[in-house]
Structure 1
């Protein structure tokens, strides 16, 4: 049974070979109200492309009878325009490397809520969902900064301090971790039923970071407000509340205007992208991986039937380290930084540039692969081959280096720091052998000057440390002499940014030297990159 705005489009969808849901959506939603099993925090494009598709496959097969309850702590417009305006449904467009596309109407989201004190009904509903013992797991996609309760110095952020100060008083909570801690407190007081809290965000040890961040708030409440310490034990006991590790991989760019035009041309209405975050469709690549630690104390549907890898923690961690630290994310970030500096606006176009194509091969095959741990379930060499030869070169994936460059300060410790540490601890390799990771880090600092390689001003992508880092680099002017050590030492020695003190790792001075060359004048980014690749 179809529902909502898509009912009038059914014939057009079928004419355009759009796969339709095979289940009764009205009945699915009714069952979800009564007995929710899966909630998801963070309703952005990754969820709509990936998690919602997994749920749809399980509902289509009869393995799952309920849908996903989505809630978002910041995206009021996302919920209203991206979900409610489209009856909580999304047109998924899979962009294949051969130019063909697959389309499917995803209808597995049963409810969507703006979880904010200003939205009383949704707050009440989410409390009901979390208090219901039927809830088995909560998946989360809020990016690295969503877990932040401490700053780069290790001190509580002002928002986290405020959350601890006000206690479990939802109307005054400011952080996502504080708001989620409130829901877990409601569950604890109601039934203390088991639950899995599953971070599916794109960084290593995500389950541990999720747990640590949540417990900072909860420990603060216990100390400040004398809450029952059993609440802390409840969250700390993985037989009651688990925080499985995961590895997720799917390139999910913002909905493309060119895809929207084609959909409209095909007669599918409502496909505008005035604001891509709220579009009625999502576009993504065909290749995807999701590996989750099989730790669900309240049970789970057969996720493996929808293509999810279930494994032990070591295997998940190794798969994640392979992808995040060696085989994909470092390549992506290197392309993002150099692409912005060299005036590119599409990743696939960068891969047509001889220098940039060779750069990612050096970062991946030469510097990352030798120290990667093989997770067994996925072959690292084959994974990089797929990334370089199929994924990054796909012209149907309209991804931009500017999008990937967002929040780089939150990513470099994982995407490069882990490999650097692997070289430091290796008996077979030395950090002195690294060239293109140090060059990328120097190029990132050059990028922060907000001047491209032609000497023109450029807009930088959002980053929580942007203002702080730019202030430290304020004296650097393109084409002028610079005392790199004096300026960069406070940055490069900060292990909270890089995961390691880069001077202690033995590459701090190399980065300083590269930086000095990169800021010597216009054209130096291209010249230094080409020179190093030619050696």
Structure 2
């Protein structure tokens, strides 16, 4: 069983017998229609794209109510196109791993072309220019991570041949401008707050510089700023798509599915002809389009206004998901866990995040009205995090923790202040922040070294806690004031809001020698 069997039309009953869902639409007809009248180009050919946006479109195509696919363009790691797309005629296998133990296997055939978004690949770039000149094009979208929206001064000086993703996109928008100032929506689907504004700021930066350099007319800048022509909607996306998992590979091999191997590129991208992903997913998009859009609601996308997207984002990032993840990552690393699902079988850790969500965060949750916060947290705690099939690790989630704490916990503390709520009710959130100081020592609960996840402030913050020892007895904890007064890390001066001393006191307990992490966690979770 190979994906190319589907390409060649050599299908057998074996696929159905082994639970593989095949496309219900005419793949070649959709490909032909899309080539002639493209509507959607997506930048970012990674796993999240195939498991989510492409899969949503696949569902819309299976409904028989739409007839156009998506063209994917990769602007960073071109090996993905060479090794994970083109050998399989852009088909892939989505393996959906459910917390119940059920597994869904679905062939995704909605991607009709895969292109390398760079001038050095002449034919691919020419095809992208042709697509951007097409009046039928409605939307371009992105899953390139927040770093992909960066603008470097050196790149701005390269003129109309930049190397960064946003520069290339702006160059393609210039082609659309020259084709008659055609309308288009520029849609981020990346997991970062107010993501549409990040795309907009980058495009405006390139367009402004090019006008200043005399490379493009001022009308081009006016065009990208004209919301009747170009829009940059916000969105909220949520779905976990880990690297290809060995257990999934074996399961596919046992089925007789031969395209089951992992591909590792020179840029250290882990991909495969298949994607393993969790079942739960959310994609909420601001419905602000200038040239129509693909009917992604057929695949479950929730369209709403900007205010609602913002509320959904805050609900997820500040209260109902991301803070729970971070709490689990800090304590999971110290307690020796390597799987999030295994942490959920730990009574102390499960109660820890459950009480953070339902008791401490819920009083300030922003209810978006279209997604129930209690149901959202319930899905997180009961289906998503305990999923034994999801090989997600606290070590991965702990990456860049210093950049996350201000949003994931600082915003809740600010909301308590703004609403006049009693901050003495905050017990487990302070325990998370106390745990961060202990985490920075790089010693687990048995005082054995563990590898701290990458973080841009790691060396600086470790230097603050360096005087502290993990041992019983008296020691001077005054160095912690230099940590917990950092508004850049926590979003607030924790002493100024009346929580610094409480957090220091908890930290002292966590530093009291081997076993102190478990004992302190158990004590406060039980008391809460």
Q: Would you say same fold, with TM above 0.5? A: yes
User: Residue 500 of structure 1: CA displacement?
Assistant: 4.3
Corresponding residue of 1:154: none
User: Of the two, which has the highest radius of gyration?
Assistant: 2
Q: Are the counterparts in 2 of residues 95 and 101 from structure 1 also a CA contact under 8 Å?
A: yes
Deviation sequence 1:71-98 (CA, Å, 0-9, x none): 2222223222222233211111112222
Alignment CA distance shift 1:335-1:7 (3 Å): same
Q: Is the 8 A contact 2:440 2:465 kept in 1?
A: no
**Which residue number in structure 2 is paired with residue 129 of structure 1?**
131
* Alignment correspondent of 2:174: 185
* 1:101 aligned residue: 103
Deviations 1:400-439 (A, max 9, x none): 2222223334433332233222222113x14443232233
Aligned equivalent of 1:525: 517
In the aligned structure 2, how far is the partner of 1:236 from the partner of 1:418?
31
The aligned counterpart of 2:256 is 267
2:470 to 479, 485, 493: 479
The alignment covers a number of residue pairs equal to 518
Q: Matched residues in 1 for 2:120 and 2:444: separation?
A: 42
State the distance in 2 between where 1:492 and 1:77 align: 45
**Correspondent of 1:317 among 296, 300, 310:** 310
Aligned residue number for residue 428 of structure 2? 436
Write out aligned runs for 1:48-447 (5 A): 48-149=50-151, 160-170=152-162, 173=163, 175-223=164-212, 227-273=216-262, 275=264, 277-427=270-420, 429-447=421-439
Q: Does 1:455 align with 2:447?
A: yes
Contact 1:3 1:26 in 2 (8 A): no
Any conservation in 2 of the 1:164–1:224 contact (CA below 8 Å)?
A: no
Paired residues of 1:144 and 1:410 also in contact (CA < 8 A): no
1:10 is the counterpart of 2:2:
no
What CA distance in whole angstroms lies between the structure 2 residues aligned with 1:217 and 1:24? 40
CA shift, 1:134, in A, is: 1.8
Deviations 1:90-127 (A, max 9, x none): 11111222211111100111122232454333333323
Deviations 1:157-183 (A, max 9, x none): xxx12122323323xx3x333333333
Residue pair 2:47, 2:271 contacting (<8 A) in 1 also:
no
Alpha-carbon distance between aligned partners in 2 of 1:485 and 1:224, rounded to the nearest angstrom: 54
Give the superposition deviation at 1:50: 1.0
Change (3 A) 1:305 1:455: same
Task: Choose 129-138 or 293-302, whichever is displaced more.
Answer: 129-138
Asked whether the equivalents of residues 36 and 132 of structure 1 are also in contact (C-alpha less than 8 Å), the reply is yes
Change (3 A) 1:442 1:474: closer
Q: Deviations over 1:325-358 (max 9, x none)?
A: 2111211221122212211111111011011101
1:355 aligned counterpart, secondary structure: helix
Structure 1: unaligned runs, 5 residues or longer:
150-159
Deviation (angstroms), 1:499: 4.2
Distance 2:518 2:418 in 1: 32
In structure 1, how many angstroms separate the alpha carbons of the residues matched to 2:257 and 2:199? 40
1:110 & 1:512 partners in 2: Cα distance?
Answer: 56
* Structure 2: gaps (5+ residues): none
Provide closer, same or farther for how the CA distance between residues 308 and 453 of structure 1 changes in structure 2, counting only shifts above 3 A.
same
**Which stretch of the first structure deviates more once superposed, 208-217 or 73-82?**
208-217
User: How well do the aligned residues superpose, as a CA RMSD in angstroms?
Assistant: 2.8
Cα distance in 1, alignment partners of residues 496 and 215 from structure 2: 43
**Cα deviation digits, residues 193-213 of structure 1 (max 9, x gap):** 221122222233222233234
1:52-73 Cα deviation digits (max 9, x unpaired) = 1111122223333221111222
In 2, Cα distance between equivalents of 1:113 and 1:410: 33
